[in-house]
Structure 1
Amino acid sequence: MDPSHRVLGREGETVEVFIPLKGSPVAIYCLTPELSRKTISNPMTHWWREGKSQAHVIGEGDQYRVRLDGSLMLLNWETSQATGFYYCTMKHIRGQKEYSLTLQFCLVAYHIPFRSLQVNVQLKTTTCEKHFVENSVKFLESVLSSMCRQLSCVITSTTFNCTQWGTLAGTVEHHIQLKIPVQSQGEDIIMPCKTGQECHNEETLRKAFQKIHTFLTQSKFVLDTSNDVPPLYYVEGSFKAMKVDHCLAGMGKLLGRNRPCVDCCVTCGPGSYSPNGTSICIPCPNNFYQHRFGRTQCMACPLGLKTNGEGAISSTDCHNARIQERMLDFKSEKSRVNDSTAPKDERHNSTHFMITIVVCSLAFLGTTALTIYCLVTFLCKDKDATANQPALRVKETENANLKNIRSSTHHMPMKADQNRGTWFK
């Protein structure tokens, strides 16, 4: 099978490659553009994924395959589980010398957002008693679900709220506010729509809208069956519907990208998750972490351990809060010790000051040399203290910058405002 697309690496950089679900095959080559134009002999290529040792090379699988020319061919991706960092090492001979090249790729699955229909409607009933309201909503949902099944769609997780309304006549009305989500079913819900054609997903939602609207608005009684289910009446003008974008579980919208589609759904990176039916990647909450791509939930830190904030990407981000506080106190104390205004320096300066007073007292007995020493000491004291502090601040700034550099290279985030990377349709 010949690949429809080819990708080359860049030495010293991570190449982002966005792979569409159910898309054409893509071949990743362990070559740079410069090296691809040269003649090499006896190339030996090894591929492995992040989290695997170099000895655990990639072989043949359902989603990728290493070809005879050493390239990694990505086959028809059905899910986002193959998303991650991939590495390759190629040893080859140019001229009379042997060379070794290591490249890194970040392969990310994506799909066009699919849409669901969100129906909001109010129904009037005779009571807000929980038992009767739940039975009414459950019965109504079963009727609407039966209608949707004929259209290859499904109603999921209907929510409701019953409130009392006072009227001008002094009576009380009971209104049920319903939120009814309608989603299409079928494999083509994540396939891109072609220009000038209506997607099956869009057509299904349009037909579902018409049927639900007709059923709820043109019936005198929406439901009137038995004493266990009180009658429901449609509130005039309350029917509203909107289309809502959704991503597959473990994926979320990457906002700000201009290609190949607006607001594509991409695999959520480490430190985030996306449950089923949502359209965003949610950072892991405090005291939770996630070190893998495309997950629907985060993992809790071991009992007694906590994180410093949201979005933790490793179990090593979980720490003992008390130990952390003590370490911070220790670092703070150490910083104060190094500071020219710290208590230790104050004690040192105080001791030096006392010695100076004693020596100066002897100066008043008539020793001219000691008097000169006192004057020089007092003049230099303030100058030394002032000169030491700026140097300390520069050192603290340098340490902060190094910390930021280390944290930025610990994990490569997918930036929303960055349009670099190779996208395939």
Structure 2
Amino acid sequence: MAAGSGRPRWLLGALLGLAAVVVAAGWARAEPNEEQSIDLIGKNEVYGDTKHEVNVYVRVFINSPFLVCMDLALSQEVIIDPNYLWIGPDGRDLQGQRYMNVTETGKLMVMGFRVSMSGAYTCILSHKVIETTTQEETEMIETYKFMVYAYREGGHAYQVSVRFSTAHCRLKTNDLFIEKLKQILNSTISHLTWRIMDSSYKCHSIRTPNDGLHYELFANFLVNPLGGWVEVCHKVPYDCEGVTNRKVRQAAEQIGKFFRKLRRILKYDFHAVPTIQYVDNSFSMTPIDSCWPGFGKNHHTHQNRSSCCVVCGPGTYSPNNEVTCWTCARPRARM
């Protein structure tokens, strides 16, 4: 529902309901080794290297660059009777396979790249070298390996932090207040397919020179778009990051409006001063890097795509929306 089309009236009712709960409850008193990453050279092409594998990064649902079955130096020479054999991550010949465009000059393009297409792509180039004087033919074989990774643009979760003054830390109704607050926040952003994934609070005694001793609730809420990513990316897979980022901004705006209205209602709309009150200027939202499950960020391994979420490499995994790809546990041999 667009802003201004009924949501403010609904939100006002929810806020008044929360404040009413406060009053009714008696309150009225969160080495890359020698591997090399090469960006596109020339016309959307990446050349191989016989000395080490070449890292290539392809955004999901986009065609890969052309992987060239030779190095840049060899491409400037005359090659006699070249023959190319491309082998995919599953060990099969790629010639004639769906989504694989293998040209007669040995270039490979992976069409509509999917996460499952990530892996090692190997090309074996055989060609002849003819000695000028004797016309003796020698067959040469060169092997080129490309490590191709799917990637997505990085996303964000948000840590919402806010403080409330309370009559005492031992009030059981502190728990009820935070739980009710979480429910209303979820309702506020549910139309954007965001969720409050975690909430917590601590109560601290605060001594100030002017006001003496008082108590405050330090509350934290983790706002996460994970469910929204899945829904959006099934509907618009080619622009799911763009759509999700726009919803991120909308959710931040909705939560900001919520706390501004909550402050006004608790402070001005009740004749009796509630025991729990919003602490002025205590609201903040801190972005936290997030990735799709199965993706992560590694500034050491993927220097050319350090800000992007790159698919976890062989032997690693990421089960949630964190940015770390964890090493798979090796099964222990039974004695």
TM bucket by the smaller chain?
Answer: 0.5 to 0.7
Q: What is aligned with 2:188?
A: 147
- 1:70-124 Cα offsets, whole Å, 9 max, x none, are 4332223343x43332222233445554332211111123333223332101234
**Unaligned regions of 5+ residues in structure 1, if any?**
194-198, 225-229, 285-289, 291-297, 305-319, 321-425
The separation in 1 between residues aligned to 2:247 and 2:285, in whole angstroms, is: 16
Q: What is aligned with 1:90?
A: 125
- After superposition, residues 26-425 of structure 1 pair within 5 angstroms as 26-37=65-76, 38-41=78-81, 43-49=83-89, 52-53=90-91, 56-58=92-94, 64-69=99-104, 70-79=106-115, 81-93=116-128, 95=130, 96-124=137-165, 135-150=176-191, 152-165=192-205, 173=215, 175-183=217-225, 185=229, 186-187=232-233, 188=239, 190-191=241-242, 200-201=246-247, 203-220=249-266, 233-255=277-299, 263-270=307-314, 272-281=316-325, 284=326, 290=327, 298-302=328-332
The code of the aligned residue for 2:159 comes to Q
TM-score, normalization by structure 1: 0.52
Q: What is aligned with 2:24?
A: none
The percentage of aligned residue pairs carrying the same residue is 21
TM-score, normalization by structure 2: 0.63
RMSD value over aligned CA atoms? 4.1
- 1:174-203 Cα offsets, whole Å, 9 max, x none, are 62522332436434453599xxxxx62553
The separation in 2 between residues aligned to 1:238 and 1:191, in whole angstroms, is: 30
**Do 1:115 and 1:246's aligned partners in 2 also have CA atoms closer than 8 Å?**
yes
**Superposed displacement of residue 246, structure 1:** 1.9
**Superposed displacement of residue 160, structure 1:** 0.7
- 1:111-166 Cα offsets, whole Å, 9 max, x none, are 3322333210123456767985555434322221222133x241232221232536
Larger C-alpha radius of gyration, 1 or 2? 1
The separation in 2 between residues aligned to 1:258 and 1:277, in whole angstroms, is: 18
**Do 2:189 and 2:251's aligned partners in 1 also have CA atoms closer than 8 Å?**
no
Secondary structure in structure 2 of the residue aligned to 1:7 = strand
**Do 1:40 and 1:93's aligned partners in 2 also have CA atoms closer than 8 Å?**
yes
Closer, same or farther in 2 for the Cα pair 1:59/1:148, shift >3 Å?
farther
Q: What is aligned with 1:377?
A: none
The separation in 1 between residues aligned to 2:68 and 2:166, in whole angstroms, is: 66
**RCO (CA 8 Å, sep 6+): is it higher in 1 or 2?**
2
The separation in 1 between residues aligned to 2:193 and 2:263, in whole angstroms, is: 21
The structure with the largest strand share of the pair is 2
The code of the aligned residue for 2:75 comes to S
**Unaligned regions of 5+ residues in structure 2, if any?**
1-42, 131-136, 234-238
- 1:325-383 Cα offsets, whole Å, 9 max, x none, are xxxxxxxxxxxxxxxxxxxxxxxxxxxxxxxxxxxxxxxxxxxxxxxxxxxxxxxxxxx
- 1:25-83 Cα offsets, whole Å, 9 max, x none, are 3221222223334243362413132xx55xx3346667x5152534332223343x433
The code of the aligned residue for 2:85 comes to T
